[in-house]
Structure 1
Amino acid sequence: MKKLLVVFLLIPATAICQPGITEMQEARSDLTQSFFSARDLSLVIAAILGIIGAVRIYHNLQMGRERFTSEVAAWFFSALFMVLLGAFCQAVFGI
């Protein structure tokens, strides 16, 4: 009986503790003030990663290294991750 009473007393406390719409709007306004656009920032970082990766792969090719496919994949997917991260932040926070 005591356990049931404790459960019923704790249910409203957990419902109040959940973050709501006002907290998401506050986070959105904070992020909007900090960045000009998360998508633009991620595209700039992805472009920088792409240029650095292309130069490193070109250098490896000129040095005669035959096995650099893993490095190509690593640079490609890091740039792709940055592009998707910007789209994700824009979708979640609307910035």
Structure 2
Amino acid sequence: MPCLNARDVCQRLRDAALGVYPLQPGASHSGAGQVQVDIEGWQLLLDFDGRHLHHCQSCRSAEGDVWQLDTRQRFGTDPVSLLSTWELAQIEKLLKEAV
């Protein structure tokens, strides 16, 4: 199965922050603090506590490509850590409105 990288997922989050694509709540919540969202066919599982976005757990593109958080790797492998402060604030605002 083809893989995505953190930059691919980050770009989709950036597009949502800029309003290029809408961020919509997903079909289900996967657990405490985890929110599933849809950005133009991409399914993202985010760790969001209601106020702050901590990281992205996983992502599946509309084409079926997959990205999974690997906590063993170093800084820069989580798409959320690649967002600017403004982009992160926009995503958190959108998540608060969606959830």
The TM-score normalised by the length of structure 2 is: 0.26
| Structure with the largest fraction of strand | 2
| Structure with the largest fraction of helix | 1
Q: Which protein, 1 or 2, shows the higher relative CO under an 8 Å CA cutoff with sep ≥ 6?
A: 1
Which protein is bigger by CA-based radius of gyration? 1
